[in-house]
Homo-oligomer: A and B are copies of this chain.
Amino acid sequence: MQSFIPPKRTLMGPGPSDISPQVLQALSRPTIGHLDPLFIKMMDEVKELLKYAFQTKNEFTIAVSAPGSAGMETCFVNLVEEGEKVLVCRNGVFGERMRQNVERCGGTAIVIDDKWGEPVSLNKVEEALLQHADIKIVAFVHAETSTGVLSDAESISTLARQHGCLTIVDAVTSLGGVPLLVDKWQLDAVYSGSQKCLSCTPGLSPVTFSKRAVDKMKSRTKAVQSWFLDQSLVLSYWSGEGKRSYHHTAPVNSLYALHESLLMLKNEGLEAAWSRHAFYHQELKEGLESLGIQFMVDEAYRLPQLNAVYIPEGVSDVEVRSRLLNEYNLEIGAGLGDLAGKTWRIGLMGYAAKKENVALCLKALSDVL
């Protein structure tokens, strides 16, 4: 067996996205202790940078030391108590995963379904909340990675608050790519992933909790079922005040990389990053359409950073993706779940949202098709 030397791919799938050499370089800086005063200071900076990315003043804003799926579970296990009703809005793979999380916490999931490729219906949310007065939490996916659909987080949040509910929001693919205004929209528990529009390596999950969410955690009657994800334990590890209590060994180098990628986002500016995603999406869209490729998702709620398109008739999904990968070192994503074999997902996330990527993707697709 030999050292593993990966090729240099262009990553235009649903994540991991392309990563700046600057972030990879940060990743490989010398490891220091996770309780080293310099590292603790860096963790404090990561918190500040995450608050900027999430557009929040929430004190409880950290990175879970595990991938986005663990970030999702963190929100559910800390907020859902046994027997509680949670409204789950399902319009793709990740809404379904939310339902499973609710049930594994001993909660009851009230599910409303929207077609894959459509956003969450506000009418259905409202109806469900009217029908079940005892719903405590509304859970939904802001940007569905499986379909490329953006839902109206602000309006769902307004409805939830009108009915006295908290919100749990999957912002895995939205953070850094499209507007996500945690405080303005009054979202309560929001999780994301490092490997999408933040263009960091996979493995970390930024989360933020509002005061209302923290209050609900504090009023729990039973300990959180997960020791590792119990935020009452984790918070004292991430807290800047006084003595930091040991919880687990932080993924030191991964946090170097997250720090660097968040700094790049801050230096570019969130609005500029959103515009850049929109701009290259437009360029990609025009090119794809001129190749006769159709978008699955209506323009009104299409994600610029994740372009779900129909595989043209008579074209072999696997063969095209293999040729792109093997001949052009270009990765695009397959369809997920019910959409496997029917769609491709072309990502323009973070550092991947740039002219040369769009050009390569269009030329390679036009050659191969």
Q: Which residues of B contact A30 (CB under 8 A)?
A: 6-9, 19, 24
Q: Which residues of B contact A177 (CB under 8 A)?
A: none
Q: Is A104 within 8 A of B70, CB to CB?
A: no
> What 1/0 mask marks residues of chain A from 160 to 203 whose CB sits below 8 Å from any chain B CB?
00000000000000000000000000000000010100000111
A15: contacting residue among B29, B223, B249, CB under 8 A = B249
Which interface class (under 10, 10 to 19, 20 to 34, 35 or more) fits A?
35 or more
Chain A: interface secondary structure? loop
Interface centre among A28, A72, A247 (most CB of B within 10 A): A28
A34-42, A110-118, A133-141, A308-316: which lies at the interface: A34-42
Q: Is B202 within 8 A of A252, CB to CB?
A: yes
Q: Is A202 within 8 A of B24, CB to CB?
A: no
A97 at the interface (CB under 8 A from B): yes
In the complex, what residue of chain B is closest to A223 when comparing beta carbons?
B104
A13 at the interface (CB under 8 A from B): yes
> What 1/0 mask marks residues of chain A from 14 to 50 whose CB sits below 8 Å from any chain B CB?
0110110010111111111111111100100100110
Q: Is B6 within 8 A of A256, CB to CB?
A: yes
Q: Is A36 within 8 A of B325, CB to CB?
A: yes
Q: Is B266 within 8 A of A1, CB to CB?
A: yes
Q: Which residues of B contact A201 (CB under 8 A)?
A: 31, 251-254
CA distance A4 to B6 in the complex (A): 26
Q: Is B73 within 8 A of A246, CB to CB?
A: no
